[in-house]
Each structure stands twice: as C-alpha cells, then as structure tokens.
Amino acid sequence: MYHKEKSIQIKNSASALYNNLGVLRIAPRRLTYFTVVHANVVNMVSASWDGLNYSHRQLQSKEPNVATSTSLITQAAFCALPSRDLLVVTSQKGIQMYESDGSIMVYWHALDTPETATELLCVPAQAVFARGISAVCESYICVGLSTGAILVFDVPSKGSNITLSDVMEGHKESITDMASECCGGEVCIADLVSADDGGNLCVWQSGEEFKLLNHIPGFDISCSSVKLWKGTVVAGYGTGQIRLYEAVTGILHAEVNAHARWIYSLDIAPFSGLLLSAAEDSLVRVWHLTMTPESHSVEIAHLYNECVTDTQICGAKFCDGDGYAFAVTGYDLSEIIRYTQS
C-alpha cells in the first residue's frame, strides 16, 4: 500500500521521546517543515515537494538572557491556528514559541522550579518539565506540565503579545500528550483531549474558560499518544494497546492489541480517517477508522504494516490530511524516512 521514498537526512539523531516528529505543510510555497528533537536541540528541515531543496536549522533550548542554561527538550510541535502557525518547544526549563519557520522566538514561558532547586546540588525528586502541545480553536495553545497542570495560552493573530490565560487542573500525573479535534468542519462539543502517565484522559471544551467535560480513568500504564477525531478519542498506551473512546461519554468502542512494545506516536489523517501507530517494536501500522452514525460508534480495521528494521520508532506523522504519505523517525536515527501510497 505504501512504498519507501528518499529519506531526509537530519543534522543530529532523534532522541527517544514520545511524538518526536513535527510536520507542517506550507501548501502555497510547496514545501513541508519537519522537526526532530535531539537532546537539547530541535533539528528543523524545510523540504520542497519536488525533493530538490532541503534547508536545515537548529534551535537550542536556551532560556533568553541566561547564557549557561541549556536543558533537555521534551517535545517540539507545530501549532496551526487559523490566523498563524507557530512552532512550540517544551523543555525542562520552559516553553518556547517560534514563528513556524523557526526564525524568531516570539514567546518564552519559564517553568516554576522550587526555590531550592536553583541551589547547588539540589534537584527536586520529581522531574520538572513541560510536555504535550496542542493548538485549540481560534487562538489557544495548550501545553501540559509534569505536575499534571495544563497551561492555556491566548495567542493574538500576530505579534508577540501571547498571554497565559488559564491553568487547568484535571490530571494528577505528568502530562504525556494532548490533541484537539482534527475533523474540522463538523461542530463537536469536545475539542481537546489530554493524557497522562497514569493513562488517564481528560476531555475539555474550549472557550473563555475551558471546561472539563469528562475524565476517562486509566489503568496505571502511560498513555503516550492521543488523538481526537469526530468525537472519538484514540489513545495509545505503554502496553502497545490502542483504545477508542467516545470522548463525551467515555464509552469504550474498541480495544486493539496493536504493538508488542510501547506506542510512541499516533496520528490521524482527518479527511480519510486513516490512523497511524508507531512503537518501540520497530513497526508502523496503518488503520482505518469509520464512523457509523446510526449506532454512534466507530469501527477500526487494520490496513498495513511497515517494519523499520532495528529502529525504535519515536515519531510518525502523516504528511497530508488524506494520509497519502507519512514520515517516520527513530531513536539514534539521523534521517526522516518517508513512505508514499503506491
């Protein structure tokens, strides 16, 4: 169903982090941006669709004005708002927001670290970091924290006047991933889902004030990647399972024993309902989701396997809304491998 295309070389290898691949299509310019995190650096490649031009950029996780501190990056993701696209980078120190081409850092939010932690030789027992990034609705970007809190930033259509507008408390464990409704057109009540290290899922409604609509309890295993499509939560777990829940009611529609190791990444092609899952077991699988409006339920069917030999996959994303192509990267791998439908 898919065949391998020419790989894109990147400057540094990918670190083993959940959802470690960012993809943004810039249709008017016929190019795609890719981001891959390597320790304290974000590797960025802009690739023209004709495959002739690749330009590279590296972003450091550096707190402005502090020369010495670099920290490990946990995630880099593109946030596409109706008015603008931003690249959001989360780390141990804080949250950075860049213009989508990585040229200018427009916003920096420092994480609160306990005062003692700044003293020498004293690091808090619980790791402090931000992780889980999602654009929601017209103007919001949500970012998860290791404390379980979720920060909501209000982003103006241009300029750097980004403000922290809300802090949502729904999780008790570290946030792993977050996703907004990706089906577009249709109006759904729930428009954001967040996941944590205990596998708990929170379903939110955005607005002036975000509302917690539903809490779907976990079963003590991390939910490492989550998506929201047509009112259905698609969640991937450390057990290699994928679960499909109705977001608002929490009804379990399907459970798939999908992978032999931890799932690291899920992605949905919203127009076709294709679902991509990738795991430490070196396999990428493509599934098909269909809604049956009569029974208000969703069905899932398996379509395709791709083995990336000897690679613990850490990032996998469709490159377009139909799922015509997808890209994959893995731990210690200095390339982005692309696959296109035959």
Partner 1 sequence: MSSRTLPLLFINLGGEMLYILDQRLRAQNIPADKAKKVMNDIITTMFNKKFLEELFKPQELYSKKALRTVFDRLAHASIMRLNQASMDKLYDLMTMAFKYQVLLCPRPKDILLVSFNHMDAIKDFVKDTPSILGQVDETNRQLIEMYTTLSSGDFQLIRQTLLIFFQDMHIRVSIFLKDKVQNSNGRFVLPTSGPVPYGTQVPCLIRMFSCSGEEVTRRQFGNGGNYTAALREGSFEIFGDRVTKLGTNMYSVSRPVETHMSGTSKNSAQHTKVNVAPNPLAKEELNLLAMLMGGLEVQKPGNADNGFRVNLFSTDEEEEEALISRPDDLSYGVINIQATKDQQANAELAKIMGEFTESGDQSPGSSSKGDDLLAMMDGL
Nearer Cβ to partner 1 (58/157): 58
Of 144, 148, 198, 323, the residue at the interface with partner 1 (CB under 8 A) is: 198
How far is Cα of residue 2 from the mean position of the Cα atoms in its chain?
Answer: 23
At 101, give phi and psi (nearest 5°).
-85, 0
Nearer Cβ to partner 1 (72/182): 72
Instruction: Scan residues 20-79 and list those touching partner 1 (CB under 8 A).
Output: 38-40, 68, 70, 72, 74
The sheet that has 130-136: what strands, in order across it?
Answer: 130-136, 140-145, 149-154, 163-169
Nearer Cβ to partner 1 (152/223): 223
Give the shortest CB-254-to-partner 1 separation in angstroms.
5
DSSP 41-107: EEEEEEEETTS--EEEEEEE-B-TT-SS-B--EEEEEEEE-SS-EEEEEEESSEEEEEETTSS-EEE
Decide: 39 and 89 in contact? Cβ < 8 Å.
Answer: no
Give the shortest CB-65-to-partner 1 separation in angstroms.
17
Of 84, 334, 335, 341, the residue at the interface with partner 1 (CB under 8 A) is: 334
Instruction: Scan residues 134-153 and list those touching partner 1 (CB under 8 A).
Output: none
Instruction: Scan residues 244-303 and list those touching partner 1 (CB under 8 A).
Output: 251-262, 281-283, 295-297, 299-302
Nearer Cβ to partner 1 (71/100): 71
At 77, give phi and psi (nearest 5°).
-145, 145
DSSP state of 250: -
Interface with partner 1 includes 214 (CB under 8 A)?
no
Tokens of 224: 């490492």
At 118, give phi and psi (nearest 5°).
-75, -20
Of 100, 174, 232, 329, the residue at the interface with partner 1 (CB under 8 A) is: 174
Three-state DSSP state, 117: helix
Binding site for partner 1 (CB under 8 A): 12-13, 15-17, 38-40, 68, 70, 72, 74, 92, 120-121, 123-127, 129, 173-174, 176, 196-198, 220-222, 224, 238-241, 251-262, 281-283, 295-297, 299-302, 305, 307, 309-312, 331-332, 334
